[in-house]
């Protein structure tokens, strides 16, 4: 089995041959540091696989890349980290990729997968608000599903928002959006900030994902 370093330097043809022979790309030995445990407050893997992930996305798209990586917890964590490292609010290509990641993750949950509760966004308590809890502590689960927030999609995608809504609905996930035009329903965003109440998202997840 090739090392993770060797995987990052493989050609597209070599990757295709590996997937064909093994069914998926066997990645082992990668660990993750959660944002609340990292000195810099960032969720990161122990090995940089960005070249491999970029090659897989270019050739297969986000969903195909996840399948090639095994569609498991590690695949979602690696993909999220790669996209987050290249994220800016109005980066349409990355925002579009996050929609595909959200669709794949939702299907993973509906198929019985465990929620990914790693902390990926974190800010320690500033004490300015008089409490002793972190100013922000958001899980991977909430970050991924937050990409389905209707108002955010309208803001990020503009005139193309309708196409994004249609893609989500065609995947059988329209309930996450709620009624189009009603920004108060659906799952919405829980950013993990200490002034936010996660009740809406918790209640939604219990009904929709079980």
Q: Is 121 helix (H, G, I), strand (E, B) or coil?
A: strand
Q: How far is CA 195 from the centre of its chain?
A: 23
What's the average model confidence in pLDDT over 136-164? 98
Q: Is the pLDDT of residue 2 over 80?
A: no
Q: How confident is the model at residue 151 (pLDDT cuts 50, 70, 90)?
A: very high
Q: Are 116 and 74 in contact (CB under 8 A)?
A: no
What's the average model confidence in pLDDT over 38-58? 93
The pLDDT of residue 11 is 81
The pLDDT of residue 9 is 78
Alpha helices in 69-149, H assignment, sequence order? 73-85, 92-110, 140-145
pTM, two decimals, is 0.94
Token pair, residue 30, equals 């990668």
């Amino acid at each position: 089995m090739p090392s993770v370093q060797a995987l990052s330097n493989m050609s597209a043809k070599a990757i295709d041959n590996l997937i064909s022979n093994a069914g998926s790309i066997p990645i082992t030995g990668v660990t993750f540091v959660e944002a609340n445990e990292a000195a810099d407050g960032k969720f990161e893997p122990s090995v940089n696989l960005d070249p491999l992930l970029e090659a897989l996305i270019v050739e297969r798209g986000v969903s195909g890349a996840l399948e090639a990586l095994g569609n498991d917890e590690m695949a979602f964590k690696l993909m999220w980290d790669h996209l987050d490292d290249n994220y800016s609010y109005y980066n349409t290509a990355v925002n579009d990729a996050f929609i595909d990641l959200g669709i794949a993750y939702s299907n993973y949950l509906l198929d019985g997968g465990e929620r990914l509760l790693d902390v990926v966004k974190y800010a320690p308590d500033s004490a300015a608000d008089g409490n002793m809890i972190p100013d922000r502590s958001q899980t991977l689960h909430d970050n991924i599903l937050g990409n389905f927030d209707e108002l955010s999609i309208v803001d990020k995608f503009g005139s193309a928002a309708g196409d994004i809504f249609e893609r989500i609905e065609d995947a059988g996930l329209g309930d996450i959006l709620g009624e189009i035009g009603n920004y108060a329903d659906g799952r919405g965003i829980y950013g993990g900030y200490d002034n936010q109440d996660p009740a809406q998202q918790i209640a939604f997840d219990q009904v929709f994902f079980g």
